[in-house]
Amino acid sequence: MCMMSGNFVFAQSEKTSPAEPESLVKWMTLKEAEAHYKEAPKPIIIDFYTEWCGWCKVMMKNTYSNPGIASYINANFYPVKFDAETKDTVEYDGVKYGPTGKEKRDPNEFAVKMLNGQMVYPSTLFLNKAANFNMSAQGYLEPQKMEPMLVFVLENAFRSSAYEDFKSNFEKAFYDSTQQVLYNKVKWKTPVESFAENQKPSGKKRIVFIHTEWCNTCRVMYRTTFADSSLQSYLEKKFDLVDFNPEIKDDLYFGGKKFQHIPTREMPFHQLVYTLDRNSFALPQMVVLDEKDVILDVISFYITPKVFDDIIHYYGDDRYKNTPWEDFQKEKNKK
């Protein structure tokens, strides 16, 4: 599967001993992770293990030695391998944590706090500190089970979706071959078709879907949200859909102006993207245009089919003209 690039974080604990299974993940200590995070914020993943835990070793050998999983973690996370029973005193966010007792299997206070007292090994903690979000998973995680968790945390899918819903759509997008029949039926227009010079309006509103090949939540939306069979007739009736890869090189026209792909360090994508999204670029992203090409909304990050259904009816039925979004959602929930 296609995976994005990113960063790493680590928890303060012992280094991996020669007797432990090898891993392709570049583990660091908690102290090192915090130092790196201050320089360049990235999500943190913490592997809580014990010396006596057999499944911890299996996970190290199978999951963290998987080239795809390891490279994705190394690129996008600060990975920490933490002995949950270490007798060392560690520090995190300015707070010191020590052992809870002197017995060999007494856990460290840091592990107790981060796992909410549920001392199951292995346990994996995913932290997106920038969004004040964390998620934990107990027990052995095989590579295919960890994939959606990594993407869910890194690509901010948690902002609009429960994990189980995202996981279900992730598996459809990447592993369900029957899903291709559905997303191949979606009628997309290319940017060149939709933003041609002297383009005549179609009389419909437009949804411009900005996405790339290397964005995983983009692919999930493309293959499940837009391909939801219950939405197709309404979408075709009310909207033109524009499949917009911001890395395209074609000249495009919008609002009487010409836009090109002249990448800079600050703006590496097509110029039109930054006009459509009002300089708030994110992936994936939907831009809703009315029949006269007025930008009605810019919606960032992953959107589930259910939320997408609300969005297209809110704009497709012109409810946005006289009803606040929050009131519209309350109405739909009551029905």
User: pLDDT tens digit string along 217-232?
Assistant: 999 999 999 999 999 9
Q: Which of 138, 154, 170 is the last residue of a domain?
A: 154
Q: Is the pLDDT of residue 1 over 50?
A: no
Q: Is the pLDDT of residue 303 over 90?
A: yes
- Name the domain count of the chain: 2
> Is 173 inside a domain boundary?
no
Q: Are residues 143 and 238 in the same domain?
A: no
Q: Are residues 228 and 277 in the same domain?
A: yes
Residue 313: both structure tokens together = 């009816």
Q: Are residues 143 and 252 in the same domain?
A: no
> Is 17 inside a domain boundary?
no
Say if CB 210 and CB 237 are below 8 A apart.
no
Q: Is the pLDDT of residue 142 over 50?
A: yes
Q: Are residues 145 and 192 in the same domain?
A: no
Say if CB 118 and CB 138 are below 8 A apart.
yes
Residue 276 CA to residue 18 CA, distance in Å, equals 54
Quick one: what percent of the chain has pLDDT higher than 70?
A: 94
Q: Is the pLDDT of residue 23 over 50?
A: yes
In this prediction, residues 43-53 reach a mean pLDDT of 97
Contacts of 323 (CB under 8 A, 6+ apart): 314, 331
Question: What pLDDT sits at residue 21?
Answer: 56
Binned at pLDDT 50, 70 and 90, residue 334 comes out as confident
CB atoms within 10 A of CB 50: 18
Q: Are residues 213 and 147 in the same domain?
A: no
Question: What pLDDT sits at residue 8?
Answer: 25
Q: Are residues 187 and 328 in the same domain?
A: yes
Q: Are residues 220 and 286 in the same domain?
A: yes
Taking Cα atoms as reference points, which of 216, 220, 221, 197 lies closest to residue 207? 221
> Is 301 inside a domain boundary?
yes
Question: What pLDDT sits at residue 72?
Answer: 97
What does pLDDT average to over the chain?
A: 92
Taking Cα atoms as reference points, which of 247, 256, 117, 129 lies closest to residue 191? 247
Binned at pLDDT 50, 70 and 90, residue 6 comes out as very low
Question: What pLDDT sits at residue 16?
Answer: 39
Q: Is the pLDDT of residue 233 over 90?
A: yes
Say if CB 242 and CB 188 are below 8 A apart.
yes
pLDDT, tens only, 255-290 = 999 999 999 988 999 999 999 999 899 999 999 999
Q: Are residues 216 and 297 in the same domain?
A: yes
> Is 11 inside a domain boundary?
no
Q: Are residues 50 and 141 in the same domain?
A: yes
Q: For tokens 């017995």, what's the residue?
A: 103
Judging by DSSP bridges, how do beta strands 188-189 and 239-244 pair with one another? parallel
CATH number at residue 250: 3.40.30.10
Residue 294: both structure tokens together = 């007025």
Q: Is the pLDDT of residue 301 over 50?
A: yes
Binned at pLDDT 50, 70 and 90, residue 35 comes out as very high
Domain, as residue range, for 281:
181-334
Q: Is the pLDDT of residue 20 over 80?
A: no
By CB atoms closer than 10 A (0-12, 13-18, 19+), residue 273 is buried
Binned at pLDDT 50, 70 and 90, residue 201 comes out as confident
Residue 129 CA to residue 107 CA, distance in Å, equals 24
Binned at pLDDT 50, 70 and 90, residue 299 comes out as very high
